[in-house]
Amino acid sequence: MRGKTVLISGGNSGIGAAAAQALAERGARLVLACRDLGKAERVRDGIATRSGKEDIHVLPLDLASFASIRELAASVQQRFERLDVLINNAGLFPAQKIVTEEGFEAQFGINPLGHFLLTQLLLDLLRASAPARVINVTSMLHRFGSIDFASFRGET
């Protein structure tokens, strides 16, 4: 992974943090795109200590806000000449109904919609870095529910 740039949404916990650690150990430049910057910086420092890799960047990303997603994409395009791997990892499964800034039920607005927008905004940089990859992390919870296509904003 030397010379490769990898962006991980939600790289400050769980699978995202574990992937970040493994990729840093293999020499990748990391971009941890996270909502909780304090936690992300602590994770970055731990990864740097354990891997000896210092090329780890923390950038703000709130997938519940299309404006935040657009700001992150613009920042990545300005700061990095390439993006070899985009790992769409962050997600949530709220116990109660909450909505995004755009009025979507949060689980739908963040998990697929937020990552779809992020991927679309970074697609030119990914293509320019070919052969690049997009990895979408998900769970098996889809087996236990269904989508009400008449209620994308969670009205019902």
Tell me the pLDDT tens digit for each residue of 135-148.
999 877 667 777 77
Q: Among the residues of 3-156, which ranges form H helices?
A: 14-25, 37-51, 66-79, 106-108, 115-128
Tell me the per-residue pLDDT of 14-59, one tens digit each, with 9 for 90 and over. 999 999 999 999 999 999 999 999 999 999 999 999 999 999 999 9
Averaged pLDDT, 114-140 = 95
* β-sheet bridge partners, residue 6: 30, 85
Averaged pLDDT, 55-83 = 97
pTM equals 0.90
Q: Is the peptide bond before 131 cis (omega within 30 degrees of 0)?
A: yes
Percent of the chain with pLDDT over 90: 75
Question: What is the model's pLDDT at position 156?
Answer: 63
